[in-house]
Amino acid sequence: MANGSELTESLNRIAKILAGLLLKDIEDGDQRQKIKRLKQCGFDNVEIAKMLGTTANTVGVAVHSLKKLRKKKPSKK
């Protein structure tokens, strides 16, 4: 039976595999779209930065600009 740390390690490995598949699906998308999708999956800025080979600050700026864009769009009714 696996202990807590082995289970956590396995879950982290699965998360990385799924993130890789997700990024492959949006391979043609720009970095901001990848960040948006990974953020929706629950990854934090540091994790996203590691996956995309950038800094957590860059991810944070992209997330902030995405939030601003979302607020500017009029809601559809």
Q: Is residue 50 part of a domain?
A: yes
Q: Is residue 77 part of a domain?
A: no
The per-residue pLDDT for range 20-50, each reduced to its tens digit, is 787 777 777 788 988 998 888 888 999 999 9
Q: Is residue 25 part of a domain?
A: yes
- In this prediction, residue 25 carries a pLDDT of 73
The per-residue pLDDT for range 4-18, each reduced to its tens digit, is 889 998 998 898 888
The range of the structural domain enclosing residue 29 comes to 4-72
What's the total number of domains in the chain?
1
How far is 65 from 33, CA to CA, in rounded Å?
12
* Torsion from C-alpha of 47, 48, 50, 53, nearest 10 degrees: -170
Q: How far is CA 19 from CA 2, 38, 65, 77, in A?
A: 24, 7, 22, 33
What is the rounded average pLDDT for all residues in the chain? 85
Q: What share of the chain is helix, strand, coil (3-state, %, to 5)?
A: 75, 0, 25
The per-residue pLDDT for range 49-59, each reduced to its tens digit, is 998 899 999 99
